[in-house]
Amino acid sequence: MFIDDINFFINGEMPVNREEKLVSSELGYLRGNMFLKEYVPYKNYQVIKLEAKTNEEALLLKLSQMEFALNDLSLYLDLHPNDMAVFNKFREYTNEYKRYLNEFEKTYRPLCLSSINKDSYEYYKNPWPWDNDAGVYYV
């Protein structure tokens, strides 16, 4: 039994792996895991780097990467709320996400029903899954 495990049984504190390193949001998104030592690849699977063709696609990809990182770190923080290093990274990703979302919505269109950047309702003008814009489906 490890000392951290004893703290869990006595104080209810989850053990924190202090040597756990986070990977970038880009790599974490591709692998499906933000933690370096927790990732176990499936057989000989090699991650494939996603390439955006337009600035709009690049912003959407970055938003998706940020959302994934926030969700994965949030799950970790549910069990380790006192891990300030991960919490600071969570705050950093939150600020980045807000910045990218703001940039996307100012440049292109609202992504959420609650996004209002103009004086009129614009959400219905978004591309729909069956819309094909230059060979790109929005699904």
Over residues 23-45, the pLDDT tens digits come to: 999 999 999 999 988 888 888 88
Q: What is the pLDDT of residue 125?
A: 66
What are the pLDDT digits (tens) for 69-114?
999 999 999 998 999 999 999 999 999 999 999 999 888 888 876 7
**Nearest in space to 32 (alpha carbons), one of 17, 47, 19:** 47
Greatest mean pLDDT among 3-7, 26-30, 128-132 = 26-30
66 within 8 A of 93, measured Cβ to Cβ: yes
Q: What are 98's two structure tokens?
A: 């807000």
**Nearest in space to 137 (alpha carbons), one of 26, 25, 46, 60:** 60
pLDDT at 61 over 90: yes
Q: What is the pLDDT of residue 101?
A: 94
Kindly indicate the confidence band of residue 1, based on its pLDDT and cuts at 50, 70 and 90: very low
Q: Burial level of 43, CB count in 10 A (0-12/13-18/19+)?
A: exposed
- What average pLDDT is seen over the chain? 80
Q: What is the pLDDT of residue 73?
A: 96
pLDDT at 134 over 70: no
pTM score: 0.73
